[in-house]
C-alpha cells in the first residue's frame, strides 16, 4: 500500500483544495448523461469479462470478487 | 425451470407494486454476446483451444416509492459453450465430467437490494446468489453514502461478503466432494465535483479471499511430464485504487477517463487505463456516440509457469494464462440514446474487441433497453 500513498494524497489534495462548491444551478453540464460517475448499465458485461480474463479485479464501485468460479 | 417461474413473477409483482404504491418503476432488459478464441487452455495444462461463447440476458427492475425507498432486483443467466476452458460436460454421467467441445454450462443469478435516503445519508443493503453446476455462491452486503459540501462531495462505503461452494471436479472429471471459498470486499469511494464541468471519483478497495482458491479441473504439466491439478494458496489479499475523471468540454463533448492500480499477494501488479470520449450527435434526441479505448498490463503471478516448467516439489503452480504476465488492449464503439415521450427511456449498445499479446482475443456485443413507468 506504500506505493499508493502519494497518489492518494494527490487525490485528496485536488479534491478539497481550490474548488469551492458548485451551486445546483451551475450543474447543467454535470447532469449530461456521460458525466454520470457510474458505468453505463451494459458496461457490466465487459467488466465481468475483465474479472474472468485478467488477474486484477475491483474498481467498479464495490464488487471485486466472488460469485463466480473464476480465480 | 427456475427462470421460467422467476421472470414472470418478478415482472408481475413489480407492476402490481408500482400500481399499488404509485411509485416509479424502471425496467431494463440487458443482453450480451461474448466470443473468445485462444490456444492456451488451462484445462489442458496451458495447451489447446480456448474457444468460448457466452450469451447473457439480464432483467433489472428498480422501484422507487413515495417515501424514497428504492428496491431493485436483477435476474439473469450466462449460457456458456466452450471448447474446454471453464467448461466440463455435465452430461457425462453421475460423478464424472468430461472436458470436451460439447461442454455447456449455465450460471443463473438473482440480486436484490433496498436503499433509503435519510437526510444527507443513504443506507442500503443487498442480497443475492448465483448457481452453476459446479459453483454455488451466496452473498450479502451493505452500503452507505454521505453527501456534504452542498452535495458536491459524496463519501461512500460498501462491504460485501460472499460465501461460495466449489464442487471438486478434478482433472479426470471425477467429483471429489466440495470445498468452501469466502470473499469479503470492502470499497471506500470519494466522489468530488471539481468544477462546473468536472467530476472525479477515487476508490480504494480491498478483497480478502480464503478457502479453496484453485480451479480443481485446471491442469498443470510438471517437468517430469506428470499431469496434476492446479494448486494455489488458500488465501489471497487483493487491493487497489481507482481514479475516474469525467470532463464536459462542451454540451456536446465529454471525456470519461478511468485508471486503476491493482496489487495482490500472489505477485500480480496491474495498471488499467480507459478513455471514452463521448460525442453528442446533432439529432433531436440525446444521442451519444463514443469510441472505447482500454489498455491493461499486469505482471504474472509467482505461481504461473509454462507447461513442463514446474518442479514437482513446488508448493503452488498454475498454467492459467489469466494469471500470467501480459498486456491487453480493447477497442470498441458505444451508443447511448436517451428517449422521451413514451415508456421507452433509453437504448444502449456497445461493441468491443479485446486482445491479449499472448494470443487470446475476444469480441463482445452488449445492448440494453430501459423503460420507465410512473
What is the ipTM for the molecules in this complex? 0.88
The position carrying cell 456521460 is A34
A54 Cβ under 8 Å from any chain B Cβ: yes
Say if residue A65's pLDDT is above 70. Answer: no
Strand, helix or coil for residue A3:
helix
Question: pTM for this structure?
Answer: 0.88
Note whether A15 contacts B202, CB cutoff 8 Å.
Answer: yes
Q: DSSP characters for B223-279?
A: TTS-EEE-B--SEEEEEEEEEEEEEEEETTEEEEEEEEEEEETTS-EEEEEEEEEEE
Among candidates B23, B10, B1, B32, which has minimal Cα distance to B366?
A: B32
Per-residue pLDDT of chain B (374 residues; tens, 9 = 90+): 555 566 666 666 665 665 566 789 999 999 999 999 999 999 889 988 999 999 999 999 999 998 889 999 999 988 988 875 444 444 444 444 444 334 678 889 999 999 999 999 999 999 999 998 888 999 999 999 999 999 999 999 999 999 999 999 888 888 999 999 999 999 999 999 999 999 999 999 999 999 999 999 999 999 999 999 999 999 999 999 999 999 999 999 999 999 999 999 999 999 999 999 999 999 878 999 999 999 999 999 999 999 999 999 999 999 999 999 999 999 999 999 998 878 999 999 999 999 999 999 999 999 999 999 87
* C-alpha dihedral, A26 to A29 to A32 to A34, nearest 10°: -130
Strand, helix or coil for residue A25:
helix
Report the C-alpha gap between B135 and B130 in whole angstroms.
8
| Nearest beta carbon to residue B298 from set A3, A16, A56 | A56
Report the C-alpha gap between B256 and B357 in whole angstroms.
25
Q: How is residue A11 written as a grid cell?
A: 487525490
How many other CB atoms are there within 10 angstroms of residue B171's CB atom? 18
Report the C-alpha gap between A38 and B120 in whole angstroms.
19
Element (H, E) at B6: helix B2-21
| Nearest beta carbon to residue B246 from set A34, A46, A49 | A34
Note whether A67 contacts B128, CB cutoff 8 Å.
Answer: yes
Report the C-alpha gap between B366 and B352 in whole angstroms.
9
Interface test with A, best of B204, B253, B331, B358 (most A CBs within 10 A): B204
Instruction: Tell which A residues from 17 to 36 touch B, by Cβ distance under 8 Å.
Output: 19, 21-24, 26-30, 32-36
Interface test with B, best of A16, A34, A36 (most B CBs within 10 A): A34
CB-CB contact of B59 with B10 (8 Å):
yes
Please report residues of B whose CB lies closer than 8 A to that of A35.
199, 246, 248, 254
Instruction: Tell which B residues from 10 to 69 touch A, by Cβ distance under 8 Å.
Output: 28, 30, 32, 34, 36, 56, 60
CB-CB contact of B17 with B72 (8 Å):
no
Please report residues of B whose CB lies closer than 8 A to that of A7.
241, 243, 261
Report the C-alpha gap between B186 and B9 in whole angstroms.
33
Report the C-alpha gap between B138 and B125 in whole angstroms.
14
Helices and strands, counts by H and E, chain B: 1, 18
**Residue B132, C-beta contacts closer than 8 angstroms, at least 6 positions apart:** A69, B105, B106, B107, B108
**Min CA distance, B311 vs chain A (Å)?**
22
Fill in the DSSP letter of residue B360. -
Report the C-alpha gap between B155 and B148 in whole angstroms.
8
CA distances (Å), A40 to each of B136, B207, B215, in order?
A: 28, 24, 31
A43 Cβ under 8 Å from any chain B Cβ: yes
A41 Cβ under 8 Å from any chain B Cβ: yes
Kindly provide the b/e burial profile for residues B12-24, where b requires at least 16 CB atoms within 10 angstroms of the residue's own CB: eebeeebeeeebe
Burial class (CB in 10 A: 0-12, 13-18, 19+), A18: exposed
Amino acid at each position: 500500500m506504500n506505493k499508493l500513498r502519494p497518489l492518494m494524497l494527490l487525490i485528496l489534495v485536488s479534491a478539497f483544495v481550490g474548488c469551492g462548491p458548485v451551486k445546483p444551478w451551475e450543474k447543467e453540464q454535470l447532469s449530461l448523461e456521460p458525466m454520470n460517475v457510474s458505468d453505463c448499465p451494459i458496461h457490466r458485461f465487459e467488466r465481468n469479462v475483465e474479472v474472468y480474463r485478467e488477474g486484477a479485479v475491483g474498481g467498479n464501485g464495490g464488487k471485486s470478487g466472488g460469485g463466480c468460479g473464476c480465480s | 425451470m427456475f427462470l421460467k417461474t422467476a421472470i414472470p413473477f418478478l415482472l408481475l409483482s413489480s407492476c402490481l407494486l408500482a400500481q399499488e404504491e404509485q411509485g416509479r418503476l424502471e425496467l431494463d432488459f440487458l443482453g450480451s454476446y461474448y466470443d473468445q478464441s485462444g490456444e492456451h487452455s488451462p484445462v489442458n495444462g496451458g495447451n489447446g483451444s480456448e474457444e468460448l461463447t457466452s450469451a447473457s440476458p439480464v432483467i433489472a427492475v428498480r422501484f422507487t416509492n413515495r417515501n424514497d425507498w428504492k428496491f431493485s432486483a436483477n435476474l439473469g443467466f450466462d449460457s456458456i459453450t466452450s471448447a474446454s476452458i471453464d467448461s466440463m460436460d455435465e452430461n457425462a454421467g453421475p460423478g464424472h465430467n468430461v472436458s470436451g467441445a460439447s461442454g455447456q454450462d449455465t450460471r443463473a443469478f438473482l440480486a436484490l437490494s433496498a436503499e433509503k435516503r435519510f437526510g444527507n445519508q443513504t443506507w442500503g443493503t443487498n442480497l443475492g446468489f448465483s448457481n452453476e453446476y459446479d459453483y454455488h455462491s451466496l452473498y450479502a452486503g451493505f452500503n452507505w453514502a454521505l453527501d456534504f459540501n452542498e452535495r458536491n462531495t459524496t463519501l461512500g462505503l460498501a462491504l460485501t461478503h460472499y460465501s461460495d461452494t466449489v464442487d471438486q471436479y478434478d482433472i479426470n472429471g471425477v467429483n471429489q466432494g466440495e470445498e468452501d471459498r469466502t470473499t469479503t470486499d470492502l470499497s471506500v469511494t470519494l466522489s468530488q465535483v471539481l468544477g462546473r464541468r468536472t467530476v472525479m471519483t477515487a476508490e480504494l478497495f480491498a478483497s480478502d479471499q480464503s478457502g479453496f482458491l484453485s480451479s480443481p479441473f485446471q491442469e498443470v504439466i510438471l517437468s517430469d511430464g506428470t499431469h496434476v491439478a492446479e494448486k494455489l494458496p488458500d488465501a489471497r489479499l487483493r487491493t487497489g485504487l481507482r481514479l475516474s475523471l469525467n470532463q464536459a468540454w462542451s454540451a456536446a463533448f465529454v471525456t470519461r477517463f478511468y485508471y486503476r492500480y491493482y496489487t495482490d499477494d500472489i505477485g500480480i501488479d496491474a495498471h488499467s487505463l480507459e478513455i471514452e470520449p463521448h460525442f453528442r450527435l446533432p439529432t433531436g434526441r440525446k444521442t451519444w456516440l463514443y469510441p472505447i479505448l482500454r489498455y491493461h498490463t499486469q505482471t504474472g503471478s509467482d505461481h504461473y509457469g509454462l507447461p513442463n516448467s514446474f518442479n514437482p516439489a513446488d508448493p503452488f503452480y498454475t498454467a492459467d494464462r489469466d494469471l500470467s504476465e501480459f498486456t491487453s488492449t480493447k477497442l470498441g464503439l458505444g451508443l447511448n440514446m436517451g428517449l422521451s415521450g413514451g415508456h421507452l427511456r433509453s437504448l444502449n449498445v456497445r461493441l468491443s474487441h479485446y486482445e491479449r499479446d499472448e494470443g487470446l482475443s475476444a469480441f463482445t456485443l452488449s445492448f440494453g433497453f430501459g423503460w420507465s413507468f410512473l
